[in-house]
Amino acid sequence: MTVSCSLTAKTPIKMETTKIVYTSYTNSGTAIVTKIEITRDSMMRDQKDYRNNLHQQASIKIDEKDFEELINLLSAISFKVKNIDDTSAGGSGWAYSFETTNGRYMYFNSKDKLSGNFDEVIKAISQFIEHHPISEQ
């Protein structure tokens, strides 16, 4: 499913958010894709190393209050996203998506045109992930 939109909301992250997905991908020489899903009660990392044919998954339980604090913080950040329909392939980058019980409502990646305080969103999610380390199983 592709969500293409031009958001004009000053604070586009909804309080009703139930899942945040962060994905990072390396160039084809390394070919590693890491996906981290954050929900109200858990965080899961799924990493695929395509060059070495490795697939690792791990998860942890998180306190629902921590998730609510993150959503409260994110929902107050003002930024705008203009999705760019870029069909080029290759290179490294990242992506973030946000979901409610009705499905994905926002997606942006490193190729999109971002303005405002989007870097605060990225920083807050990165810090959340760092403060909730997922150990190898």
* 45-78 tens-digit pLDDT: 999 999 899 999 999 999 999 999 999 999 999 9
Give the number of domains in the chain. Answer: 1
Identify whether 32 is part of a domain.
yes
Tokens of 30: 């390394």
Identify whether 70 is part of a domain.
yes
Q: What is the pTM of this model?
A: 0.85
Q: How far is CA 7 from CA 10, 78, 84, 107, in A?
A: 8, 11, 12, 10
Identify whether 127 is part of a domain.
yes
Tokens of 7: 């958001």
Place of tokens 């899961």: 44
- What CA–CA distance (Å, rounded) separates 36 from 122? 13
Provide the residue range defining the domain that includes 109: 19-84+91-131
Tokens of 62: 């998180």
Identify whether 67 is part of a domain.
yes
Identify whether 44 is part of a domain.
yes
Identify whether 13 is part of a domain.
no
Identify whether 72 is part of a domain.
yes
* 74-129 tens-digit pLDDT: 999 999 988 777 666 667 899 999 999 999 999 999 989 999 999 999 999 999 99
